Amino acid sequence: MNFNSALLTELCKLLGILKTRMTSLHPESDGIIERFNRTILNHLALFVSRNQPDWDTHLPLFLLAYRSTELEVIGLTPAEMLFGRTLRLPCDILFGQSSETPSSPNEYIHQKNALSPHLTHDVEGSAYVSSWLWSSRSKSYPFPLWSRPRGENILDGGAHFYQTYETKDGKFIAVGALEPPFYDAFIKGLGLDPDDLTQNAFGSEAQKKCAEVFLTKTQAEWCDVFDLTDACVTPVVPLEEAHNHPHNSHNQSFMKQDETMVPIPAPRLSRTSATPGLINPIPGQHTREILLETGFSKDEIESFIEDGTVYCTTVKPSL
Predicted TM-score of the model (pTM)? 0.49
pLDDT at 259: 80
Q: Please name which of 95, 77, 94 lies closest in space to residue 86, comparing C-alpha atoms.
A: 77
Whether the CB-CB separation of 184 and 229 falls below 8 Å is answered with no
Average pLDDT, rounded, for the chain: 80
pLDDT at 28: 54
Whether the CB-CB separation of 223 and 235 falls below 8 Å is answered with yes
pLDDT at 96: 55
Separation of alpha carbons 68 and 78, rounded Å:
7
| % of the chain beyond a pLDDT of 90 | 25
pLDDT at 106: 77
Q: Could you write out the three-class secondary structure of 187-232?
A: HHHHCCCCCCCCCCCCCHHHHHHHHHHHCCCCHHHHHHHHCCCCCC
Looking at the DSSP bridge assignments, the partners of residue 233 are 175
Whether the CB-CB separation of 231 and 222 falls below 8 Å is answered with no
pLDDT at 134: 82
Per mean pLDDT, which range of 12-21, 133-142, 186-195, 278-287 is the poorest?
Answer: 12-21
Per mean pLDDT, which range of 19-28, 75-84, 136-145, 271-280 is the poorest?
Answer: 19-28
Q: Is the dihedral of CA 178, 183, 187, 193 positive or negative?
A: positive
| pLDDT > 90? residue 176 | yes
Whether the CB-CB separation of 217 and 226 falls below 8 Å is answered with no
Instruction: Give the pLDDT band of residue 1 (cuts 50, 70, 90).
Output: very low
pLDDT at 257: 78
Q: Which residue has the higher pLDDT, 29 or 132?
A: 132
Structural domains present in the chain: 27-95 (no CATH), 122-149 (no CATH), 162-236 (3.30.1540.10), 280-318 (no CATH)
Per mean pLDDT, which range of 81-95, 139-153, 154-168 is the poorest?
Answer: 81-95
Task: Choose the most confident range, by mean pLDDT, from 22-31, 216-225, 285-294.
Answer: 216-225
| pLDDT > 80? residue 302 | yes
| pLDDT > 90? residue 190 | yes
pLDDT at 258: 75
How confident is the model over 209-265, as pLDDT tens digits? 999 999 999 999 999 999 999 999 999 998 888 999 888 899 888 888 778 888 888
Task: Taking residues 269-293, report their average pLDDT.
Answer: 82
pLDDT at 252: 87
Task: Taking residues 52-75, report their average pLDDT.
Answer: 78
How confident is the model over 103-124, as pLDDT tens digits? 677 777 776 677 666 666 777 8
How confident is the model over 30-60, as pLDDT tens digits? 556 667 778 778 877 777 766 667 777 777 8
